[in-house]
Structures are given as structure tokens and as C-alpha cells.
Amino acid sequence: MAGRFVKKDSLLLCPECKKTDYAIVWDENTRDTCVSRELRRNYTSLIGKRGIQRESKLHYKCPKCSKFVHGWKLKIIKNIDE
């Protein structure tokens, strides 16, 4: 997803199940797994990011198959207003 900003309504493709959902759904689904206040504080939203570095340890939980995937493996399928 390098070079493109992730927006709430960006469609992201899961590399595991090949299904897509909106970035905001990925975000909320992942944040729901942060059970403590500290985890929630440290949570890094997908939205507003410009690509995710391959070195990054960020994982996001797929809303469709519930697997955790590396942030950099997510693909932006389309941004609605592009």
C-alpha cells in the first residue's frame, strides 16, 4: 500500500481470505482485541497512514476471517473518492 493514504472508506484486501472490507472496519475489529486501556492507548490506527513499513510489527485483524495479518500485506483496492 506504499504511497497511498489509508482512508476510512478505503477497501483493504486480506492476503489470507482474499476478501475486502473498509479500513474503518479493520480498525474497529482490531481495536476490539485490545482488552486493556494500555493496549488501546498504544493502538495504531490504519487510517491516515501512508503505507505501512515492511519492518513494522503492526498487525491487523481481518473482519472476515479473524486472522491477524501484517499491516504491510494489506492492499488498498480502492479509495472511493479517487
- Amino acid making up residue 34: C
Cell numbers at 13, concatenated: 484486501
Nearest CB to Zn ion, comparing residues 9 and 16: 16
Nearest CB to Zn ion, comparing residues 1 and 14: 14
CB of residue 61 to Zn ion, shortest distance in Å: 9
d(CA 63, CA 69) in angstroms, rounded, equals 11
CB of residue 53 to Zn ion, shortest distance in Å: 21
Residues that bind Zn ion (CB under 5 A): 14, 16-17, 62, 64-65
Reference 49, options 16, 10, 18, 77; nearest CA is 10
Nearest CB to Zn ion, comparing residues 6 and 62: 62
Cell numbers at 7, concatenated: 482512508
